[in-house]
Amino acid sequence: MKVAKYSRVQPRFQVIKDAITQAIRERKYLPDDQIPTEYELAEKFKVSRMTANRAVRELVGEGLLVRHQGLGTFVAPIQVESPLLEIRNIADEIRERHNVYSNERYKLEKIRSNKKLADLLGIAVGEPVFYSLMVHKENGRPLQFAERYVNASLVPEYHRQDFSERTPSEYLSELFPLSEVEHVVEAVLPSQQEQELLDISADTPCLLVNRRTWSKNKLISYARLVHPGDRYRLGSRSKV
Amino acid sequence: MKVAKYSRVQPRFQVIKDAITQAIRERKYLPDDQIPTEYELAEKFKVSRMTANRAVRELVGEGLLVRHQGLGTFVAPIQVESPLLEIRNIADEIRERHNVYSNERYKLEKIRSNKKLADLLGIAVGEPVFYSLMVHKENGRPLQFAERYVNASLVPEYHRQDFSERTPSEYLSELFPLSEVEHVVEAVLPSQQEQELLDISADTPCLLVNRRTWSKNKLISYARLVHPGDRYRLGSRSKV
DNA sequence: CAGTGGTCTAGACCACAGA
DNA sequence: CTGTGGTCTAGACCACTGG
């Protein structure tokens, strides 16, 4: 029986990419370790060198590997970067970096808005608001302290959700197609609580992203996202 | 006289990428327009289809094109505009707030690139680079500590400029029409020098914006912009 | 069906780094 | 000199789309 030569579930270069990615995630290859050469990969995976080359080249483009002509290919030293603008939630971001996402929920409750909150959410003082506090982790290490305030009259079921699998931002974006987003980025020092939950010292500068999201001109939520400055950066690159 | 087959200044796939990119920028191809097929590109540029394929595939990865199997390749609908792009000229920004812009120049000299700088600017170690250090002020108050490294071989007259009226970024953008910008934002604590020149304390968190600019695929400059976190924020708001 | 992109091969030449 | 990555080719088969 002949097996069709080019019908596969996974392209061969993708198989190689996945294998390398997994090996790095399992720490079989550590940062700065050299990985097999293109010739070795080609032999191991029974592909041509061009196919191995594509796998490695794409992983370089994704920031997972670095190459030096004449020397070899190496696991990239750890670096974290995220495109601004794209409101992609932190979970996707971490998974795209080929790392393990997890989170912990500390609070999920209904409160009444004070003046400041009412202004931010465009509602009246005293209106009900859901408040959630979560910490999102990359490979078990806290990366984002996320407080979120949600207009309770628009999202009455928010507090009934279990956000262990689906993040608040995923839940909200399913319910309300995003139409507008606002970001304000600041540098701040962490509060006592932020220090503890992010496992950082009082003098670690943090990137604070204030994000407000709208759906069809309705202001849905305000999020206050605090990230340790020593392991989180925002990046963007664009043609003009 | 025989011409070496594989010694080129530009790889062939890069030539194709540049040609397509430029055609889009010049609006010879409009959003959603179909561009030539791989076979046509291969013929036009006298390369194999694999080489044309790589050029197109990478442009898809960069978001400039979209492909549909069986249909063709098309210019991406809308260029996502980065909000961080609006971190433009600090002088304009200050004047738009109807405040008084001023600056102070502390250094303007020619240096030789070390390893790190060479990587950032995409040049060889030891290549000449211009270094400038300025502080930009709003109503006399320091707002931005700006170190800039400029590829001296591309901008040989940089060090002869007087940047009191025209900022380095204004000068460069006149000389080199901007084609690509990269921003990486971090939260950091200020160095001794930054504390002094920005007139802030050691525990004031700062927003560090690393900006690299390209013109026609030439990496022109790298700027390191430090802002006091207590009086500077980055903001953006965009429809999606 | 023809035309498109998606993938793959086997081999080649070039450039760079280190011994 | 060897071994590495960087690039390129000519041709091939597969899968999807539309007529």
Query: Of all protein residues, which has its CA closest to the C1' atom of C2?
Result: B70
For residues A100 and A21, what is the distance between their CA atoms, to the nearest angstrom? 12
Of B181, B207, B237, the CB nearest to A185: B207
What CATH number should be reported for the domain whose range is A82-235? 3.40.1410.10
CATH of B12-75, one of 3.40.50.920, 1.10.10.10, 3.65.10.10, 3.40.50.300: 1.10.10.10
Question: Could you say which of A84, A227, A238 has the minimum Cβ distance to residue B181?
Answer: A238
pLDDT band at A76; cut points 50, 70, 90: confident
Q: What is the value of pTM for the model shown?
A: 0.74
Q: Which residues of B touch A50 (CB under 8 A)?
A: 50
Residue A58 to residue A81: CA distance in whole angstroms? 17
pLDDT of B25 strictly over 90 = no
Nearest Cα to Cα of residue A134 among A152, A149, A119: A149
Q: Which pLDDT tens digit goes with each residue over A180-216?
A: 778 888 899 999 999 999 999 999 999 999 988 888 7
- Band of pLDDT at residue A90, cut at 50, 70 and 90: confident
Q: How far is the CA of A71 from the C1' of D4 (A)?
A: 5
In angstroms, the first-to-last Cα distance of chain B is: 57
Q: Which of A2-6, A123-127, B100-104 has the lowest mean pLDDT?
A: A2-6
Mean pLDDT of chain A: 86
Distance B37 CA to D17 C1' (A): 15
Task: List pLDDT tens digits, range A160-177.
Answer: 888 888 888 888 888 887
User: Which positions in chain B have a beta carbon within 8 angstroms of at least one beta carbon in chain A?
Assistant: 21, 25, 50, 61-62, 64, 79-85, 178-189, 203, 205-208, 227, 229, 233-240
Tell me what pLDDT residue A82 has: 54
Q: Are A205 and B229 in contact (CB under 8 A)?
A: yes
DSSP string, B130-149: EEEEEEEEETTEEEEEEEEE
Tell me which residue of A43, A85, A54 sits closest to B83, measured CA to CA. A85
Q: Which phi and psi (to 5°) does residue B133 adopt?
A: -130, 120
E strands, A100-200, where? 101-112, 128-138, 141-151, 180-188
Ranges of each domain in chain A: 12-75, 82-235
On the question of a common fold for B12-75 and B83-228, the answer reads no
Closest of A55, A220, A221, A236 to residue A147, by C-alpha: A221
Mean pLDDT of chain B: 85
Confidence at residue A5, expressed as pLDDT on a 0 to 100 scale: 52
pLDDT band at A83 (very low <50, low <70, confident <90, very high): low
- The residue-averaged pLDDT of A105-112 equals 93
- What is the distance between the alpha carbons of residues B208 and B102, in angstroms, rounded to a whole number? 20
| Type and span of the H or E element at A116 | helix A115-121
Chain A neighbors of B186, CB-CB under 8 A: 207, 229, 233-234
Rounded distance in angstroms from the CA atom of residue B21 to the C1' atom of nucleotide D14: 30
Nearest neighbour of A180 by CB, restricted to B61, B180, B240: B240
Q: How confident is the model at residue B56 (pLDDT cuts 50, 70, 90)?
A: very high
- Decide: A123 and A151 in contact? Cβ < 8 Å: yes
Residue among B62, B85, B237 whose CB faces A180 most closely: B237
- Residues in A touching B61 (Cβ below 8 Å): 61
Q: Are A198 and A142 in contact (CB under 8 A)?
A: yes
Top-tier CATH class for B83-228:
alpha beta
Give contacts of A179 with chain B, Cβ < 8 Å.
Answer: 239-240
Which is it for the CA torsion B2, B4, B8, B11, positive or negative? Answer: positive
Pairwise CA distance, residues A113 & A122, whole Å: 10
Position B80 pLDDT exceeds 50: no
Of the candidate ranges A117-121, B7-11, B117-121, B235-239, the one whose mean pLDDT is the lowest: B235-239
A55 residue type, one letter? A
Mean pLDDT on B80-97: 63
Q: A6 beta carbon < 7 A from strand C? A: yes
Give B191 CA → D5 C1' in Å.
39
A87 CA vs D5 C1’ separation (Å): 36
- Chain A residue nearest residue B21, CA to CA: A239
| B49 DSSP 8-state letter | H
Residues above pLDDT 70, as percent of chain B: 88
Per the CB < 8 A criterion, the answer to whether A146 and A223 are in contact is yes
- Partner-chain residue, chosen from A61, A86, A207, that has the shortest CB–CB distance to B185: A207
How close B238 comes to chain A (CA, Å)?
6
Which residue lies nearest D4, CA-to-C1' measured? A70
CA B124, CA B133: separation in Å to the nearest integer? Answer: 22
Q: What is the pLDDT of residues A129-167, one digit of tens each?
A: 999 999 999 999 999 999 999 999 889 889 888 888 888
Q: Where are the alpha helices (DSSP H) in chain B?
A: 12-25, 38-44, 49-61, 90-96, 115-121, 168-175, 192-198
With an 8 Å Cβ cutoff, are B185 and A181 in contact? Answer: no
CB contact under 8 A, B82 and A236: yes
| Contact flag B185-A61 (C-beta cutoff 8 Å) | no
Sheet holding B218-228, edge to edge: A82-83, A234-239, B180-188, B206-215, B218-228, B141-151, B128-138, B101-112
Residue B237: per-residue pLDDT: 62
Distance CA B128, CA B113 (A): 6
Nucleotides of D under 7 A from a protein CB: 3-18
- Taking alpha carbons only, the member of B214, B99, B108 closest to residue B163 is B108
